[in-house]
Amino acid sequence: MDEQLFFKKLNNLCTSREIFYFLSSLEVMSDTMASGALQRISEVEVDDNGLKNPGLLENEVFRALCFQFEFESSKLSNTGLLTALQALIKLRIDPQSTLMASLLSESEERLGKGQLTAENLCALGESLLELEGPSCATLEQIVNHMQEKDIKRWSPREIVMFYKILQVTGREGKQCQKLLNRLNSVTLHTVSQLSPNTASVILNSLVALRQTRAVPLVTALCKHSVKHVPYFTDHELVNVLEALLYFGQKVQSFTEALERHVPKSILTMHPQTVSKIMQYCCKKMILSKPIFDAVAEGFISNADRLTTDQIAAYIIPFGTLNYLPPSASSLFRKLETVLHTRLRHFQPHTLLNLLHSCVLIQRYPINFLPKIFSPYFLQKLQAQPPGLNRVVMSQLIQLFLTVTLECPFYEGPKLFSKYQVKAFPTLHSSPDVHLFKRVKAGLLYLLKKRIYFASEVSTPYFYVVDIEIKLDEEGFVLPTTQLEEVHRRIALCVDGQNRFCAHSHNLLGEEAIKQRHLQLLGYEVVQIPFFEIENLQNTRKMADYLHKKIFPCTYGLSN
């Protein structure tokens, strides 16, 4: 039978029984046809759980095929030899069997003689990775032979296989980087042809190979991935998200594609994929309401099946980005139920991160705070990395301040004084330097003297105030050094873009809780957000703006 007709008929068959019946009707077939038949059998009879029907290995037709490959391996074409090897590995044939030993020996002999094409080398590399793993010494030989080939003529399959082999062989140094530079350059021109799987695998390899200079290729792959978002498997999507995080890429169209995809797929998506999507949003400060609302619904439905790390990954971004979804009451009721049943399973730092994120958005885990403030729990925190560093201390103090200021009915243990530090700059608390300078210049124009306002003031309540102004009972501004007759304290929060979610006017949770606590501590909080002042063209206009914000009831500036 003509090979083209053979493969057309073969690919329409869906069970090994149909394939064996078809093969037994043929008098003669080439080794390429025979290996293609083995490949088709492996495609229809192997799934994620392994071989569906182990009995097929005893079938007479199957055994006859194997006999041909075992005893005539030296007569096989390269394609027939390597396709058969791949199919038999997939069918879980014993690697120590004489059949497999014969095929492997013949493949390695041809490799040594330099008889394999780039396509053959990729097929052999794939087989050896599957069979022996990254430690296989022959992979080095394959890399050496592939370097001699013309990379510009390679297909996407050959490119992706070479990335995988380079990734697992762990080559380093200038010579390897030169090779990677060539490969990255060629890959850039094939990006538009890449399938979802291929794009995902290459991005994963670029991360593993630390190709931070391959910016054009990474950017092209990330943009190309946008159209594949609905078609990625969970594993492939995680690879892409990890690459976006590693290379610092933030592609708006990719976020928009996720916003369309996640709400439709949330109930079937693997929890680890959802966790990675939330990590991506959290790290990039992307407050996507479609994604967050869908994840909240997914948590309500699936929380009982999540690991403790996944629970934290689902919930923490809500606090970090200061967002309550429409289903907030059901979401936090479900979280409380889960915590009651599984509290002891959480690692100390995971639990602290989780409960701290809740108070950022005014959800108070009162029932669980006695555990957090217990000496035993604090010792466990200290004993496990990262220990009681500045971030951990700030979380503990904010929990302590929250129960003190916002939950006066809480009567459980509080944070021991030895764990209380004087001031804790939070991750996003430092003001934007340029913005801060302009605001101070405007204040100086308004108040005439520098003694009437203080910047970056440490308070007795652990927070640092960007700018503090003191007023007496009649509303006159006092020198900052004056301690008596202070009737009002104004805290100016100079909020640059780093205190807001990306492309948003939504304050981050850390800054929202700080401003809330300062108000409860008696400050009059005046927010100076970047989007209100970035277009003010001179100091006079800035002073006008500050006058209206800080002293709205007094007359305007005199000329």
> Which residues have a Cβ under 8 Å from the Cβ of 410 and sit 6 or more positions away?
366, 369, 403
Residue finishing a domain among 396, 421, 446: 421
**Best-predicted range by mean pLDDT (113-127, 310-324, 380-394):** 310-324
Q: Is the pLDDT of residue 313 over 80?
A: yes
- pLDDT score at 506: 97
- pLDDT score at 539: 95
Q: What is the mean pLDDT of residues 187-192?
A: 94
Q: Give the residue from 213, 275, 196, 285 showing the smallest Cα distance to 242.
A: 275
Q: What is the mean pLDDT of residues 145-162?
A: 86
Output phi, psi for 51, to 5 deg: -75, 125
Residue 286 lies in a domain: no
Whether residues 107 and 170 fall in one domain: no
Percent of the chain whose predicted confidence (pLDDT) is above 90: 76
Q: Is the pLDDT of residue 268 over 60?
A: yes
Whether residues 7 and 71 fall in one domain: yes
Q: Is the pLDDT of residue 452 over 90?
A: yes
Predicted confidence band at 529 (pLDDT cuts at 50, 70, 90)? very high
156-160, 291-295, 510-514: range with lowest mean pLDDT: 156-160
Q: What is the mean pLDDT of residues 36-46?
A: 93
Residues in the chain: 559
- pLDDT score at 557: 46
Q: Give the residue from 235, 319, 292, 303 showing the smallest Cα distance to 269.
A: 235
Whether residues 98 and 8 fall in one domain: yes
Q: Is the pLDDT of residue 556 over 50?
A: no
Residue 196 lies in a domain: yes
> Which residues have a Cβ under 8 Å from the Cβ of 104 and sit 6 or more positions away?
85, 131
DSSP letter (8 states) at residue 557? -
Whether residues 502 and 414 fall in one domain: no
Predicted confidence band at 553 (pLDDT cuts at 50, 70, 90)? confident
Residue finishing a domain among 82, 115, 148: 115
Predicted confidence band at 120 (pLDDT cuts at 50, 70, 90)? very high
Q: Is the pLDDT of residue 217 over 80?
A: yes
- pLDDT score at 172: 64
Q: Which segments of 1-77 does DSSP mark as H helices, in order? A: 3-10, 16-24, 31-45, 60-71
Predicted confidence band at 136 (pLDDT cuts at 50, 70, 90)? confident
Separation CA 66–CA 440 (nearest Å): 83
- pLDDT score at 354: 98
CA-based end-to-end distance of the chain:
100
**pLDDT tens by residue, 167-183:** 887 766 566 788 899 99
- 229, two tokens: 């978002």
Cβ(493)–Cβ(527) below 8 Å: yes
Residue 427 lies in a domain: no
- Please tell me the total count of domains within the chain: 4
The per-residue b/e assignment along 437-471, b for 16 or more CB within 10 angstroms, e otherwise, is ebbbebbebbbeeeebbbbebebebbbbbbbbbbb
Predicted confidence band at 417 (pLDDT cuts at 50, 70, 90)? confident
Whether residues 373 and 474 fall in one domain: no
Instruction: Between 1 and 462, name the one with better pLDDT.
Output: 462
**pLDDT tens by residue, 489-517:** 999 999 999 999 999 999 999 999 999 99
Q: What stretch of H or E contains 510?
A: helix 509-520
Q: What is the mean pLDDT of residues 361-370?
A: 94
Whether residues 86 and 150 fall in one domain: no
Give how far the C-alpha of residue 41 lies from the chain's centroid of Cα atoms, to the nearest Å: 37
Residue finishing a domain among 368, 393, 421: 421
Whether residues 508 and 404 fall in one domain: no
Predicted confidence band at 148 (pLDDT cuts at 50, 70, 90)? confident
- pLDDT score at 423: 52
Residue 74 lies in a domain: yes
Q: What is the mean pLDDT of residues 93-114?
A: 93
Domain with 460 in it: what CATH number? Answer: 3.40.960
> Which residues have a Cβ under 8 Å from the Cβ of 4 and sit 6 or more positions away?
none
- 522, two tokens: 């008696």
- pLDDT score at 559: 39
Whether residues 149 and 61 fall in one domain: no
What's the mean pLDDT when you consider all of the chain?
91
Predicted confidence band at 240 (pLDDT cuts at 50, 70, 90)? very high
Residue 339 lies in a domain: no
Q: Is the pLDDT of residue 39 over 90?
A: yes
- pLDDT score at 558: 43
Separation CA 480–CA 477 (nearest Å): 9
Domain enclosing residue 363, as ranges: 358-421
Whether residues 417 and 448 fall in one domain: no
Q: Give the residue from 503, 1, 545 showing the smallest Cα distance to 281.
A: 503
Residue 467 lies in a domain: yes
Whether residues 142 and 106 fall in one domain: no
Whether residues 4 and 102 fall in one domain: yes
Residue 299 lies in a domain: no
Q: Is the pLDDT of residue 427 over 70?
A: no
Whether residues 201 and 105 fall in one domain: no
Q: Is the pLDDT of residue 50 over 90?
A: no
Residue 318 lies in a domain: no
